Structure 1
Amino acid sequence: MQVFRYSGPEFDPYGDGTTERRSAEGTWPAPVATRPLSAVVALPGSKSLTNRELVLSALADAPSILRTPLHSRDSALMIEALSALGCRVAELPSDNRFGADLELTPGELTGSTSIDTGLAGTVMRFLPPIAALATGPVAFDGDAGARRRPMRTTIDSLRALGVDVEDDGRGTLPFRVYGTGRVRGGELSIDASASSQFVSGLLLAAARFDEGLVLRHTGETLPSLPHIEMTIDALRARGVSVHSPEVGVWVVEPGPIAGREVRIEPDLSNAAPFLAAAVVAGGTVEVPHWPAETTQVGADLARLLPAFGARVETRGDSLVVDGGEGLVGGRELPGVDLDLSHGGELAPALVALAALASGPSRITGIAHLRGHETDRLAALATELNRLGGRVTELDDGLALEPAPLHGGVWSSYEDHRMATAGAIVGLAVEDVEIDDIGTTSKTLPEFPELWRRDLLGLDAAPLDPLSLLL
């Protein structure tokens, strides 16, 4: 057994085993689809599930084993942070193509350390309540982009629970949590309109509070409810008593958190660009090990992609999307009217499809995406319009009018889903170049290889197992 040291693939910017820059700007030329697909694309574990299970494993009363976890920048940052707080993480042998299984042994939570959140919302919002349970100060900071992400709800929540937090009034990173080893808990009201992660972060730690937690959401909207259901399912699987007596209210009873062995589902949101590719290129894309039941919002792809004319079916444990002849083969994509308040993280991929449609589209329910890795609404509108699109920002989404797109540089804004959205557009539009495909390392370091070789059947050499992310 080896103590965990993340060893992800060396960044292969072109997905073919070479690392030289192909242009003066160092951009990644998005491959154009030239024939219908017949692809099987296996994906690594869910980021959302991996980071929830990592946190619960660190708070548990016995060791846990995570099978097929995600190995990415976000999960590596979570592991580094939990290790700094006193949890021991070790690698276990595995035949998983995407990395080792993990064994986590909880220890006494100790502060007097610092945590790098990177751009990971789960790290910056899940770990401050854990730091409050540690003894000693814990400093939080991250990438420059992380300092723009809303954090006031987390900071104010901890203060309302009696925790000392120092942020100089910013309501954003950087800040410092002064843990005393215990949190009283009790009743708490918050406005989590900006992110469901504010709710999940408190629920994950609440069983360790002296009085548990009665949490009430006071805002008018609450995005991404499936992510809260995911948190509740993970807690219940570890023996925690948690229930929701009414919409927007959650009750967690104090008590132990059990260690357990858990197999992490594939990341269904990361499946979005690959399944969308079938709509553009035509042919079929199959994602194996698709769960029959799940709280992941990526499961909504099965009902959303048919709006673009695709056929979706399950074959055994796989989800298969059939795009017919596809846009590249001459089929026009219909415009759509979609409310994505249930799963906003799917929006970049679906907006990319809508930009290629022959009719107008409206994609709404996603105002909260302005507070993600970047302002995704502004970023998508800017990049599509730069390539000739006609995209207008709405209060809670985007309106798209049909327009022919042309090539150009697509900026990723240090946002993994912006980068993959550009790759979707590039399937149908020549000369699209992604300025920073490496940002996909946040949740899917293997994206260039999977896109070129597994999806499109282009030559690609295996990636070397050298560190990219840390």
Structure 2
Amino acid sequence: MTESTAPLWPAPTASGPVDGTVEVPGSKSLTNRALVLAALAAGPSLVRHPLLARDTRLMIQALRVLGATIEPADDGVRVTPAPVIGGGFVDCGLAGTVMRFVPPMAALAGGDVRFDGDPHARERPMSTVLDALRDLGATIDDAGRGALPFTVRGAGALPGGAITIDASASSQFVSGLLLSAARYDKGVTVHHDGTPVPSQPHIDMTVAALRERGVEVDDESPNTWRVEPGDIRPLDTVVEPDLSNAAPFLAAAVLTGGTVRVPRWPAATTQPGDALRDLLARMGAAVSLDDGVLTVRGTGDVRGLDADLHEVGELTPVLAALAAVSNEPSRLRGIAHLRGHETDRLAALAAEINGLGGDVEETDDGLAIRPAPLHAGVFRSYADHRMAQAGAVLGLVVPGVQVEDIATTSKTLADFPGMWSALLGQPAALGGEAHLGRGPAA
């Protein structure tokens, strides 16, 4: 892996038990689904309490390129759809939702739409989506790479129909095809043929978002989703807090024996991050949800965790950090697909925790983590926001941890360093400024 020149952030060490309330911004997953559906709807929509961070700003700009008007309104944004246009360039950054949700919409454009992104984005698999769009009638020029950069040559409409794909690398392959499917002439039937799709809750989230907007979806048959053609109803929708982004803050309570509260935690949700309630309890925390406030209290006992995280892989980095300082061995399973995320998260977690003196071993489908005394050192982020969050968690109890490129957390949290320092009751550490200029303004 190449040496990074990104700045180092001295991760604050907790001086005692934390005690605070953390207002977590809106869910990235829900925000970007709501934005895409609003841009395809039959009239203007309001998206309230959206996340405004790099990934969602990239989505907003992409939808503007395709013709939608997106303006600040009330406590969110107003999206006014228009016929999908071509002749533009979409910057995907490192956002999987942009690179996988927007090309199926671009296939409806009346002209070419070019896609590219950050250097590492060119390594993320895209052939499943691109080949599926070709099978549905789209013309795509990717020079045979099956990855960014590529051009979708829109013809103003797409026939649609039935396709079979292998979505075992990412649930986003399915969601991306379903989100635009109602606008295709014959709708779309997606059948998955392969090992189980990871993060099934994200597909459930997509199906629920479509049904909420009046789209007819049949998901009764295993591994098959049918979206009927028709209008997408405009909606005034409120985005839930991003439960996965609550993970490092809740982990701080577990590690320091403190208490962290997160308001507006939904009683029922399609977000995979809701699994934190069970997972953190299994790691020794006292967890309660009362009147919409989730409270996690550390007990001073951080237990090991043996869990299949196939459906909640995004929680792996923070859970691995907790496991690295627990008093028992842990086994995190079912997450081989994380090798294809922003970085190879399994290799990255093993390398960085072991670099601090840890004992982490990659397995075929996850990580085996054994207790070991950790020491000061640099924790690299690999331009991956979840990795940076994991480094911050370790720094709570390991003095001298320096997280490389903490600003990468702006992908899903506009000011993670400021929120982290506020929870600890400390001044913001130097080097923690989020790179807010990297995404277009909403």
| Length-normalised TM-score, structure 1 | 0.90
- 1:208 — aligned with what? 183
Alignment of 1:436-455 (within 5 A): 436-453=405-422, 455=423
Alignment of 1:122-271 (within 5 A): 122-271=97-246
* CA distance in structure 1 between the partners assigned to 2:435 and 2:13 by the alignment: 29
Q: What code does the residue aligned with 1:227 have?
A: H
Identity %: 57
Q: What code does the residue aligned with 1:141 have?
A: D
Q: Which among 424, 434, 438 is matched to residue 456 of structure 1?
A: 424
Contact 1:441/1:469 (<8 A) preserved: no
Per the TM alignment, residue 61 of structure 1 is displaced from its structure 2 partner at its CA by 0.5
1:407-432 CA distances to partner (integer Å, 9 max, x unpaired)?
10110000000000000000010000
SS in structure 2 opposite 1:320?
Answer: strand
Alignment of 1:296-315 (within 5 A): 296-315=271-290
RMSD over equivalenced CA pairs, Å = 1.5
Q: What code does the residue aligned with 1:447 have?
A: F
Per the TM alignment, residue 140 of structure 1 is displaced from its structure 2 partner at its CA by 0.6
Structure 2 residue 365 is the aligned partner of structure 1 residue 396: yes
Q: How many residues align?
A: 433
* CA distance in structure 2 between the partners assigned to 1:305 and 1:317 by the alignment: 18
- 1:414 — aligned with what? 383
1:117-153 CA distances to partner (integer Å, 9 max, x unpaired)?
0000000000111000111011110000100101010
Contact 1:41/1:285 (<8 A) preserved: yes
* CA distance in structure 2 between the partners assigned to 1:181 and 1:25 by the alignment: 43
Q: 1:116 and 1:466, CA in 2 relative to 1: closer, same or farther beyond 3 A?
A: closer
- 1:468 — aligned with what? 437
- 2:247 — aligned with what? 272
Hey, which bits of structure 1, 4+ residues long, moved more than 2 A?
A: 463-470
- 1:372 — aligned with what? 341
* CA distance in structure 2 between the partners assigned to 1:188 and 1:425 by the alignment: 44
Structure 1 gap ranges (5+): 1-23, 95-100
SS in structure 1 opposite 2:438?
Answer: coil
SS in structure 2 opposite 1:468?
Answer: helix
Structure 2 residue 37 is the aligned partner of structure 1 residue 67: no
- 1:15 — aligned with what? none
- 1:102 — aligned with what? 77
Q: What code does the residue aligned with 2:212 have?
A: A
- 2:395 — aligned with what? 426
Structure 2 gap ranges (5+): none
* CA distance in structure 1 between the partners assigned to 2:82 and 2:307 by the alignment: 46
Structure 2 residue 90 is the aligned partner of structure 1 residue 115: yes
Contact 1:72/1:469 (<8 A) preserved: no
Structure 2 residue 60 is the aligned partner of structure 1 residue 92: no
Alignment of 1:328-339 (within 5 A): 331=301, 333-339=302-308
Contact 2:317/2:387 (<8 A) preserved: yes
* CA distance in structure 2 between the partners assigned to 1:334 and 1:321 by the alignment: 15
* CA distance in structure 2 between the partners assigned to 1:383 and 1:371 by the alignment: 18
- 2:35 — aligned with what? 54
SS in structure 2 opposite 1:400?
Answer: strand
Contact 1:306/1:312 (<8 A) preserved: yes
Q: 1:429 and 1:288, CA in 2 relative to 1: closer, same or farther beyond 3 A?
A: same
Structure 2 residue 61 is the aligned partner of structure 1 residue 80: yes
Q: Which among 7, 20, 45 is matched to residue 39 of structure 1?
A: 20
* CA distance in structure 2 between the partners assigned to 1:120 and 1:282 by the alignment: 34
Contact 2:253/2:296 (<8 A) preserved: yes
SS in structure 1 opposite 2:243?
Answer: coil
* CA distance in structure 2 between the partners assigned to 1:465 and 1:394 by the alignment: 34
* CA distance in structure 1 between the partners assigned to 2:99 and 2:437 by the alignment: 21
